[in-house]
């Protein structure tokens, strides 16, 4: 049996405080999961947003700021692990090196869409600009299967490929344990296989402290945090949600 720690969408952007990512990094060191999965949209890439072009809110958005913010945020997240391993090496102790898996999200895919829309950008902006060199990176909407759980930024449904918006529909249509991000809040649904083992599907797409300007007050009031999958075995696991508020209380 293994332990997975899952980080939903962080959507880091210029001007934000990334202290919460260091707390997540400290929690990773405390729990030492075998696998750490980021569900995508680590970087917001707001300079490439087609929705904001022409709006006042778009003024001042720059690609270099997006990349710099992503690098700062990644250093916060992985800092505790790097520091732990430096100490372990110095003390001739075992280093901690979990499998790090990152599923690209639609915000990272903005890079590819921008190049497709304006070929002059080819070679100037690229996925490799993002600070994901320590991660096993999986293409947007290409699931990765780990210990019987399918991970993806979201799971498309129907001929139009729209995101599955409920965990219940994921159970009925995908017939295996799946964990997705993309959609704010958290949803959990369960099913059964013919052998009696449990199918668990989860949607959790918010792991950031800022409020989104396109959402109203009620819509911004949703779960923000990470989750642990304990005792993972062939898609069966015990889930535990950990809020950013709890991590702040614990580490501050």
List pLDDT tens digits, range 21-43.
Answer: 999 999 999 999 999 999 999 99
Residue 86, both tokens: 């430096």
Q: Percent of the chain at pLDDT above 70? A: 91
Question: DSSP letter at 238?
Answer: E
Q: Say which residue, 217 or 7, is predicted with more confidence.
A: 7
In order of their start, the domains of the chain are 2-251 (3.60.21)
Quick check: 52 pLDDT over 60?
A: no
Question: DSSP letter at 43?
Answer: B
Quick check: 57 pLDDT over 70?
A: no
DSSP 188-249: EEEEE-TTSPEEEEEEE----SSPPTTS-HHHH-S--EEEEEEEEETTEEEEEEEEHHHHHH
pTM score, whole prediction: 0.91
Question: DSSP letter at 121?
Answer: G
Longest dimension (CA), the chain: 56
CA 235, CA 154: separation in Å to the nearest integer? 18
183, 163 contact by CB (below 8 A): yes
């Amino acid at each position: 049996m293994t332990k997975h720690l899952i980080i939903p969408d962080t959507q880091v952007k210029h001007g934000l405080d990334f202290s919460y990512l260091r707390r997540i990094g400290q929690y990773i060191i405390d729990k030492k999961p075998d696998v750490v999965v980021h569900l995508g949209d680590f970087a917001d890439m707001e300079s490439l947003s087609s929705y904001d072009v022409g709006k006042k809110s778009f003024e001042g958005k720059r690609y270099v700021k997006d990349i710099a913010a992503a690098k700062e945020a990644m250093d916060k997240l992985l800092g505790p692990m790097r520091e732990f391993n430096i100490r372990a090496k110095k003390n001739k102790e075992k280093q901690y090196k979990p499998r790090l898996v990152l599923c690209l999200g639609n915000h990272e895919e903005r890079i590819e869409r921008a190049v497709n829309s304006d070929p002059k950008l080819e070679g100037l902006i690229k996925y490799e600009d993002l600070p994901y060199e320590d991660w096993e990176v999986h293409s947007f909407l290409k699931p990765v299967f780990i210990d019987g759980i399918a991970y993806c930024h979201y799971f498309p449904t129907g001929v139009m490929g729209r995101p599955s918006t409920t965990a219940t529909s994921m159970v009925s249509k995908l017939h295996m344990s799946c964990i997705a991000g993309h959609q704010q809040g958290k949803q959990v649904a369960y099913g059964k296989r013919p052998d009696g083992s449990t199918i668990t599907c989860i949607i959790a797409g918010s792991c950031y402290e800022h409020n989104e300007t396109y959402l109203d007050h009620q819509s911004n009031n949703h779960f923000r945090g990470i989750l642990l999958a304990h005792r993972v075995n062939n898609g069966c696991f015990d889930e535990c949600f950990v809020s950013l508020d709890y991590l702040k209380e614990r580490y501050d």
